[in-house]
Amino acid sequence: LLFSTSHPRTESEWENSFALKMFLFQFVNLNSSTFYIAFFLGRFAGRPGKYNKLFNRWRLEECHPSGCLIDLCLQMGVIMFFKQIWNNFMELGYPLLQNWWSRRKMRKGGGGGQNMESKTQLPQWDKDWNLQPMNAHGLVDEYLEMVLQFGFTTIFVAAFPLAPLLALLNNIIEIRLDAYKFVTQWRRPMPARATDIGIWHGILEGIGVLAVITNAFVIAITSDYIPRFVYAFKYGPCVDKGHHHRDECLRGYMNSSLSVFDMSELKNSSQPRYCRYRDYRAPPWSAVPYEFTLQFWHVLAARLAFIIVFEHLVFGIKSFIAYLIPDMPKDLCDRMRREKYLMQEMMYEAELEHLQKERKKNGRRYHHEWP
């Protein structure tokens, strides 16, 4: 009994459950690498002389010396570009190949001349029957493609600003490809009524919230915006000055973001005495060597503060815009209320007319009759 109650009771519930599972599977499959590069790559690699190793043998990979933002941008560009090409091929090229193969089998089975003669005499519905049927899930694949593209466009837009432009160009092309596919390669789908887009509205809302949080973390953690900001206003040459020029205030930032390691601590080391690496750690000659400096904690606090302020600001603007632009226009609400009022008035008049006819027919009054 418990197992049977877990199944969806209606077809709409089954479609919503299927769409949600398909979306989660595709979303994790496509975005796992980008989330790894943005938030995990190089975060747990350790430092020179104390690298973290997998199974005490292999070092964990690190980002490019310029930062993880470049790696994330390249990964986003490659995934989005090649995925759009593959989706367009599967939507149009695959039905074209299937229809060509089915026509080829028909020519082989029925003979060339007879088939060409009968092809001109076939009615249109017979020709449509030889096309590819629409998949059993209806428009779930179309919705899924658009929702995944919306996620790619918004979640890491701070790292790959060209994503909206690529999505726009892809949609312009895909509009014509879908029109050609539905008209010439697929059978006519069966129409079905729907009150709304179902669970896809909730999925889009969730992607919007996730996009705000993810972009806040990308700007604060993955990029160098916050370390540069902290250095310019706390450690740079413009701290004691009244003016803040960007190039002048960032002078010496690279040297400040590099820590010192003593190569003599390594066994059999024949390299120079000191080397530099990206981190905020104390030098080896300090009282607490290789511990995090005060600048590291200032940068960490600034990152957390930026994430909180950025999220609340964006969500506040979103809520304000949603309040200014209602889901249903005011004139439409007034028309719906007027239509409802007229319908109730017609029902009251019809009921009154029915009661008057009953009184004339039976010759008696009803206690609930209107005067």
In whole angstroms, give the CA distance from residue 177 to residue 175: 6
The answer to pTM > 0.75 is no
CA torsion, ordered 93, 94, 98, 104, to nearest 10 deg: 40
pLDDT of residue 363: 63
On whether the CB atoms of residues 103 and 194 are closer than 8 A, the answer is: no
Both structure tokens of 326: 């209602």
Residue 338, both tokens: 């007027």
Contact criterion met (CB below 8 Å) for 251 and 236: yes
According to the model, what pLDDT value does residue 313 have? 93
Q: Are 281 and 293 in contact (CB under 8 A)?
A: yes
Instruction: Yes or no: say if 134 and 187 are a contact pair by the CB < 8 Å rule.
Output: yes
Tokens of 147: 């929702």
Instruction: Supply the pLDDT for residue 368.
Output: 52
Residues of the chain with confidence (pLDDT) below 70: 1-6, 103, 106-122, 124-126, 136-138, 241-247, 267-272, 363-371
Contacts of 144 (CB under 8 A, 6+ apart): 19, 22, 23, 26
Task: Give the pair of three-digit tokens for residue 47.
Answer: 């430092």
What is the biggest distance separating any 2 CA atoms in the chain, rounded to whole angstroms?
120
The three-state secondary structure class of 139 is coil
User: CA dist 169 to 73, 248, 291, Å?
Assistant: 19, 40, 50
DSSP 8-state secondary structure symbol assigned to residue 291: P
Residues 6+ apart with CB under 8 A from 312: none
Q: With beta carbons less than 8 A apart as the criterion, state whether 222 and 76 touch.
A: no
C-beta separation of 72 from 34 below 8 A: yes
Domain extent listing, the chain: 11-101+130-188+199-222, 226-324, 331-359
Alpha-carbon distance of 26 to 28, in angstroms, equals 6
Enumerate residues 6+ apart whose C-beta is below 8 A from 153. 163, 164, 167
Q: Where are the alpha helices (DSSP H) in the chain?
A: 2-5, 11-39, 68-88, 94-110, 112-121, 124-129, 140-155, 163-180, 200-217, 225-230, 246-249, 253-256, 294-324, 330-362
| Distance of alpha carbon 302 from alpha carbon 313, whole angstroms | 16
pLDDT 10s digits, 288-339: 888 888 888 888 999 999 999 999 999 999 889 888 887 788 888 888 899 9
Kindly state the tokens that stand for 197. Answer: 């887009």
Q: Residue type at 53?
A: K
Paired residues of 275 in beta bridges: 261
Q: CA 31 to CA 70: how far, in whole Å?
A: 17
Q: Which residue has the tokens 């815009």?
A: 321
Cα(277)–Cα(367) distance, rounded to whole angstroms?
94
Are the C-beta atoms of residues 237 and 252 closer than 8 Å to each other? yes
